[in-house]
Amino acid sequence: MMADSTFREDLYYRLNEIRVHIPPLRDRQGDAVLLAQYFLDKFNEQYKKSVRAYSPAAIMALASHRWPGNVRQLENQIKKAVIMAEGKMITPEDLGIGGTADSGNMLTLKEVRERAERRHVQEVLAATDGNVSKTAKLLGVSRPTLYDLLQNFKLQLDE
């Protein structure tokens, strides 16, 4: 937009002072279940319902679902489940995302490895305050390999 003169360049640099990268929900293991509990409490109160918890299968479904719509999709699924639930527990059927046996929600081994690698690279980068040399050494890879990983995982160094 700056190249097209539809956005002021000085305003961009003022707004871009601090960049916050928030990875998608599918890359934040455990967050879906924590957020689901928050939304359960919120919608119980809002709609005067008394749904107490998620079934173990529902928790597995929440944790393994890819959430292409991110947090908004999760919130909408929980809202619908709380409103429509007939019992005191939410099931995968109430959520409309299927159980763990649903192959549409299952990750391939390659996807699991990539997620684990991405998460570990992020953790080590954070622990070294973005120092590429230290990060590469701790990961046991060369600097060029680390740069390739950063590019593949679409991670950016804070400079």
**Full DSSP string of 2-58:** TTTTSS-HHHHHHHTTS------GGGSTTHHHHHHHHHHHHHHHHTT----EE-HHH
- Per-residue pLDDT at 20: 80
Give phi and psi for 12, each to the nearest 5. -55, -45
Helix (H, G, I), strand (E, B) or coil at 89: strand
One domain for residues 88 and 130: no
Walk along the chain (159 residues) and give the pLDDT tens digit of each residue: 888 889 898 888 888 888 788 889 888 888 999 999 999 999 999 999 999 999 998 998 998 898 999 999 999 999 999 998 888 999 988 998 864 444 455 667 887 788 888 888 888 888 888 899 999 999 999 999 999 999 888 887 765
Number of domains in the chain: 2
One domain for residues 34 and 86: yes
| pTM for the predicted model, two decimal places | 0.56
With respect to residue 101, please indicate whether it lies within any of the assigned structural domains. Answer: no
With respect to residue 6, please indicate whether it lies within any of the assigned structural domains. Answer: no
Contact at 8 Å (CB) between 63 and 30? yes
